[in-house]
């Protein structure tokens, strides 16, 4: 019998894998992809509770999350490209000096 | 048990085999039709009038040497043709070939399944097919395939927007996302949607040409342009999979156009009782005839029109087709509310 | 019969969850960026399958169409355009403590899991005040909510997407 608690544990695990990715990796694109994992984890949680409460509000919220993720990915990747044109690197350890 | 497991499996086997055989004979048909347009004969040697040519082609491709470039990414190189072919085949799960019929006293629907988001499923699976192109060019680790694959995938995702907009106007007209419901809506409207939505029909057809990388939009894979495009480095069976994927995509676009705009399995004027003598032709034969008309038009256009340059192609997609498709959706919505 | 259904659902859930978490770990740990992107696509496809298991078919198709078929294609393009000679993580920064990060994440996961399991024994959630929507299919329900109760967030989301489009174009132009 799969309860929403199962889905919440899955969502928490996925969320934490995403957070680990954001904190540990230095490739900026992989960090962005880990953020997408975090957003997916939130979506799984929303949809699981939407099914338990038989209310489609959770799914509407998930659609909005997907729309916001699309907008964020587009602008974020634009920033990465603009940065790469100037600095020739996408390693965040080399990006944190504002000077040179 | 029979209904939930055996019958769908049999249907899947029949559909997959039919599609794969149809794809191989499409290759022969294309060569023949283009030859006749150019007042020559096409393949004539193998079998009567060249009818066994696809078998010769298949044997040749199976026995060819399988070369993987040295620095290529091995796993992605092997996976790319598979990623290109699988979406083209699994779309056939929702295409309705006919209504519910009686076979040996058993009620069987002539489609594998009917999901309530059928049309969106088709679009989403088609958007996964883009990965095959991108990864093929990337994994080859070579300049020309990479450029060609980036061009091809940019073309594909641009025309995907226009095609999806036309599908939205069809959904608004039919009132449902399910493919079977759309055909039933055409039956209750009494007229095919191709007559109600001519603009959408035209945009879908042009977008379909561009989505399948067919002439006149086949710049990314023309031999004279980028030495063979994204499948330059592929040989043998892997190249065959790309080839199969392209023709399977053509059959998919034709089937979807038939279902959405030409009434699917319905006969012309489905509600007019006077034409009931046309019912002697079974529904799925009507479907195949209409799909075949589309496929023939694909080949005809290839034999006739010259190729678009890449910037002309992108300008057509973004500056002409997308605004036209959006305007079509707006007009459809207004008319649907007023009527 | 209902028991067989529950059993099937349980098996499907565990299999999908294993694949989702497995591919997520591979996304976070793969060396080659293109492989990371491919594992992300696989992750999204399995999440879409999970949505179908939960009865959210429209969301599943939107997930494949927008997320796996649009956003990740964008990531793949950028990965190919940022094609570096030297991999970006060639040498480790000695100030980094990656192992500590993994350990902390595992501890937080155990804590969150404990809270979730403990909280689930509590009171049942009250019956939600579902809006008076007639018994429709999944897509129709979402459409109703989007266009009646949540119309303003819908319009705001479309403006957000317009702003994002303009932003992406402005950021990547060579000269403005």
How confident is the model over B135-152, as a mean pLDDT? 83
> Confidence band (pLDDT; 50, 70, 90) for C94?
low
How confident is the model over B297-304, as a mean pLDDT? 92
| Cβ-based neighbour number of residue B48 at 10 Å | 7
B177 touches chain C (CB under 8 A): yes
* Minimum mean pLDDT range among B113-122, B203-212, C86-95: C86-95
> Confidence band (pLDDT; 50, 70, 90) for B217?
confident
pLDDT the model gives residue C89: 61
Q: Which residues of chain C neighbour B150 with C-beta distances below 8 Å? A: 77, 80
Question: Is A in contact with C (3 or more beta carbon pairs below 8 Å)?
Answer: yes
Q: Is residue C86 scored above 60 in pLDDT? A: no
Please name which of B8, B276, B316 lies closest in space to residue B159, comparing C-alpha atoms: B316
* Partner chains of C (3+ C-beta pairs under 8 Å): A, B
**Of C138, C163, C171, Cβ closest to residue A82:** C171
* Minimum mean pLDDT range among B13-17, B62-66, B318-322: B62-66
Q: Which residues of chain C neighbour A3 with C-beta distances below 8 Å? A: 120
- 3-state SS, B126-195, equals HHHCHHHHHHHHHHCCCHHHHHHHHHHHHHHHHHHHHHHHHHHHHHHHHCCCCHHHHHHHHHHHCCCHHH
Q: Is residue B92 scored above 90 in pLDDT? A: yes
| Radius of gyration over every alpha carbon of chain A, rounded to an integer in angstroms | 17
Q: What is the ipTM of this complex?
A: 0.92
A residues 40..99 contacting C (CB < 8 A): 40, 43-44, 47-48, 50-57, 59-60, 62-64, 66-75, 77-82, 84, 89-91, 93
* Minimum mean pLDDT range among B98-102, B115-119, C59-63: B98-102
How confident is the model over B55-68, as a mean pLDDT? 85
* Minimum mean pLDDT range among A65-74, B3-12, C88-97, C126-135: C126-135
d(CA C81, CA B159): 22
**Of C59, C116, C144, Cβ closest to residue A47:** C59
* pTM for this prediction: 0.91
Instruction: Name the residue of chain B whose CA is nearest to C136's CA.
Output: B116
As a whole-number percent, the residues of chain B with pLDDT over 90 amount to: 45
Q: Is residue A2 scored above 60 in pLDDT? A: yes
> Confidence band (pLDDT; 50, 70, 90) for C127?
low
Q: Classify burial at B52, counting beta carbons within 10 Å of its beta carbon; exposed 0-12, middle 13-18, buried 19 or more.
A: middle
How far is B209 from chain C, CA to nearest CA, in Å? Answer: 20
Instruction: Name the residue of chain C whose CA is nearest to B151's CA.
Output: C77
Comparing B327 with B311, which gets the higher pLDDT?
A: B327
Q: Is residue B123 scored above 80 in pLDDT? A: yes
The phi and psi torsions of A89 (rounded to 5 degrees) equal: -145, 155
> Confidence band (pLDDT; 50, 70, 90) for C123?
low
Q: Is residue C114 scored above 80 in pLDDT? A: yes
Q: Which residues of chain C neighbour A23 with C-beta distances below 8 Å? A: 101
As a whole-number percent, the residues of chain C with pLDDT over 90 amount to: 45
**Of C38, C60, C70, Cβ closest to residue B127:** C70
Please name which of B295, B279, B262 lies closest in space to residue B96, comparing C-alpha atoms: B262
Comparing B145 with C168, which gets the higher pLDDT?
A: C168
Q: Which residues of chain C neighbour A12 with C-beta distances below 8 Å? A: 109, 112-113, 116
Cβ proximity of A37 and A14 under 8 Å? yes
> Confidence band (pLDDT; 50, 70, 90) for A100?
low
Q: Is residue B103 scored above 60 in pLDDT? A: yes
pLDDT the model gives residue C176: 58
pLDDT the model gives residue B291: 94
Please name which of B322, B59, B22, C74 lies closest in space to residue A76, comparing C-alpha atoms: C74
Comparing B75 with C96, which gets the higher pLDDT?
A: B75
Cβ proximity of B265 and B96 under 8 Å? yes
The interaxial angle of helices A4-24 and C98-120, nearest 10 deg, is 160
Tell me if C89 and A25 make a contact (CB, 8 A cut-off): yes
Q: Which residues contact A30 (CB under 8 A, 6 or more apart)?
A: A21, C27, C28, C33, C36
B138 touches chain C (CB under 8 A): yes
Q: What is the DSSP track for A47-79? A: HHHHHHHT-THHHHHHHHHHHHHHHHHHHHHHH
C162 touches chain B (CB under 8 A): no
pLDDT the model gives residue B276: 76
Q: Please state whether beta strands B100-103 and B106-109 pair in parallel, antiparallel, or not at all (unpaired).
A: antiparallel
Tokens of B56: 């010769």
d(CA B65, CA B245): 21
Distances (CA, A) of B173 to B26, B185, B203, B339: 33, 9, 16, 11
Cβ proximity of C74 and A70 under 8 Å? no
Please name which of B169, B142, B163, B175 lies closest in space to residue B208, comparing C-alpha atoms: B163
How far is C17 from chain A, CA to nearest CA, in Å? Answer: 7
CB contact burial B121-157 (16+ within 10 A = b; e otherwise)? bbbbbbbbbbbbbbbbbbbbbbebbbebbbbbbbbbb
Cα C73 from chain centroid (whole Å): 15
d(CA A37, CA C28): 10
How far is C25 from chain B, CA to nearest CA, in Å? Answer: 19
How far is B151 from chain C, CA to nearest CA, in Å? Answer: 11
* Minimum mean pLDDT range among A66-75, B312-321, C87-96: C87-96
Count Cα neighbours of C77 within 13 Å in the Cβ-side half-sphere.
Answer: 19
> Confidence band (pLDDT; 50, 70, 90) for C82?
confident
Q: What region, left, alpha or beta, does residue A24 occupy, with left being phi > 0 and alpha being psi -120 to 50 degrees?
A: alpha
> What value does the mean pLDDT of chain B take?
88
Please name which of B119, C99, B208, B161 lies closest in space to residue A23, comparing C-alpha atoms: C99
pLDDT the model gives residue B22: 92
Cβ proximity of B234 and B136 under 8 Å? yes
Please name which of C32, C62, C28, C59 lies closest in space to residue C43, comparing C-alpha atoms: C28
Cβ proximity of B263 and B186 under 8 Å? yes
> Reduced to 3 states, what is the DSSP secondary structure of residue B218?
coil
The phi and psi torsions of B269 (rounded to 5 degrees) equal: 50, 65
Q: Which residues of chain B neighbour C57 with C-beta distances below 8 Å? A: 115-117
């Amino acid at each position: 019998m799969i309860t929403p608690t199962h889905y919440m544990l899955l969502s928490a695990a996925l969320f934490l894998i995403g957070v680990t990715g954001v904190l540990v990796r230095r490739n900026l694109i992989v960090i962005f992809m880990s953020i997408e994992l975090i957003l997916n984890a939130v979506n799984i949680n929303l949809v699981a509770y939407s099914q338990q409460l038989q209310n489609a509000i959770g799914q509407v919220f998930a659609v909005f999350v997907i729309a916001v993720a699309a907008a964020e990915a587009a602008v974020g990747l634009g920033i990465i490209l603009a940065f790469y044109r100037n600095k020739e690197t996408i390693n965040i350890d080399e990006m944190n000096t504002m000077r040179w | 048990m029979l209904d939930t497991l055996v019958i769908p499996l049999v249907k899947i086997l029949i559909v997959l085999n039919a599609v794969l055989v149809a794809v191989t004979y499409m290759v022969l048909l294309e060569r023949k039709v283009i030859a006749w347009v150019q007042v020559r004969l096409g393949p004539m040697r193998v079998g009567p009038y060249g009818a066994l040519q696809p078998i010769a082609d298949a044997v040749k491709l199976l026995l060819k040497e399988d070369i993987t470039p040295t620095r290529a990414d091995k796993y992605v190189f092997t996976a790319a043709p598979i990623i290109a072919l699988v979406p083209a085949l699994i779309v056939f799960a929702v295409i309705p070939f006919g209504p519910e019929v009686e076979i040996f006293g058993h009620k069987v629907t002539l489609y594998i399944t009917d999901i309530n988001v059928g049309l969106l499923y088709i679009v989403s699976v088609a958007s996964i097919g883009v990965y095959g192109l991108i990864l093929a060019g990337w994994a080859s680790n070579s300049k020309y395939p990479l450029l060609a694959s980036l061009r091809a995938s940019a073309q594909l995702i641009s025309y995907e927007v226009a095609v999806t907009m036309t599908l939205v106007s069809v959904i608004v007209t039919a009132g449902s996302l399910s493919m079977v419901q759309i055909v039933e809506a055409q039956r209750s409207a009494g007229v095919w949607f191709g007559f109600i939505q001519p603009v959408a029909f035209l945009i879908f057809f042009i977008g379909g040409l561009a989505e399948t990388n067919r002439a006149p939009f086949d710049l990314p894979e023309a031999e004279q342009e980028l030495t063979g495009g994204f499948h330059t480095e592929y040989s043998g069976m892997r190249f065959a999979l790309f080839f199969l994927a392209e023709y399977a995509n053509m059959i998919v676009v034709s089937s979807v156009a038939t279902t959405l705009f030409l009434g699917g399995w319905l006969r012309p004027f489905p509600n007019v009782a006077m034409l009931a003598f046309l019912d002697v032709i079974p529904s799925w034969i009507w479907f195949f005839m209409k799909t075949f008309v589309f496929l023939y038009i694909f080949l005809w256009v290839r034999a006739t029109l010259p190729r678009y340059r890449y910037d002309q192609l992108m300008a057509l997609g973004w500056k002409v087709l997308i605004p036209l498709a959006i305007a079509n959706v707006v007009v459809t919505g207004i008319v649907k509310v007023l009527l | 019969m209902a028991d067989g259904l529950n059993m099937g659902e349980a098996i499907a859930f565990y299999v999908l969850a294993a694949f989702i978490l497995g591919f997520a770990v591979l996304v976070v740990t793969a060396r080659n960026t293109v492989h990371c992107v491919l594992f992300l696509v696989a992750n999204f496809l399995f999440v879409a399958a999970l949505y179908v298991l939960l009865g959210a078919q429209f969301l599943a198709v939107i997930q494949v169409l927008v997320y796996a078929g649009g956003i990740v294609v964008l990531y793949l393009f950028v990965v190919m355009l940022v094609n570096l000679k030297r991999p970006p993580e060639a040498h480790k920064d000695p100030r980094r403590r990656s192992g500590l990060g993994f350990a902390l994440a595992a501890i937080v996961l155990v804590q969150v899991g404990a809270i979730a399991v403990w909280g689930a024994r509590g009171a049942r959630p009250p019956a939600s005040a579902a809006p008076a929507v007639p018994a429709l299919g999944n897509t129709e329900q979402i459409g109703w909510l989007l266009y009646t109760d949540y119309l303003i967030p819908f319009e705001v989301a479309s403006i957000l997407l317009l702003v994002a489009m303009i932003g992406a174009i402005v950021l990547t132009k060579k000269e403005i």
